[in-house]
Amino acid sequence: MLTESRTQDFVAVVLGVYTALSPIWTDHSGRAMWTLIVLGVLIALTGLAQFARPAEAGSDYAMGLFGVLLFIAPWVMNYSSYNAASWTSWIVGVLTVAVAVAALPQVTARMHTAH
């Protein structure tokens, strides 16, 4: 059975894989494609790193950073005119930050003590 942190790690991997593969079905530019692939792979790798070492909080912070970068990427990398790629970045970026925050040790400890 998956624990809460394992579920969050699994969700992060799914979000990363979805983002990395999204250029297959979304309209995009070259910059958008590589941004989605690179950040998607990094998000998936941080989720996998959390599977390997669940007590390591550094991966959660990195995942949150990658989520923020993914959210601002359409403006920074100038692909906001590609609606599908932009919405993928915005939605997955927000979800990635939410998963990263929920997996932080401080938040997890509060969730387990608040009964």
Per-residue pLDDT at 109: 54
- Mean pLDDT value of segment 16-32: 94
Mean pLDDT of the chain: 87
Is the per-residue pLDDT at 57 higher than 50?
yes
Residues 6+ apart with CB under 8 A from 69: 39, 93
* Residue range 57-65: mean pLDDT, rounded: 89
pLDDT at residue 11 tops 90: yes
Give the model's confidence band at 56: pLDDT under 50 very low, under 70 low, under 90 confident, else very high. confident
Among candidates 93, 89, 97, which has minimal Cα distance to 22?
89
Q: What is the mean pLDDT of residues 66-74?
A: 97
**Element at 36 (helix H, strand E):** helix 30-52
Query: Comparing C-alpha atoms, which of 48, 51, 42, 49 is closest to residue 19?
Result: 42
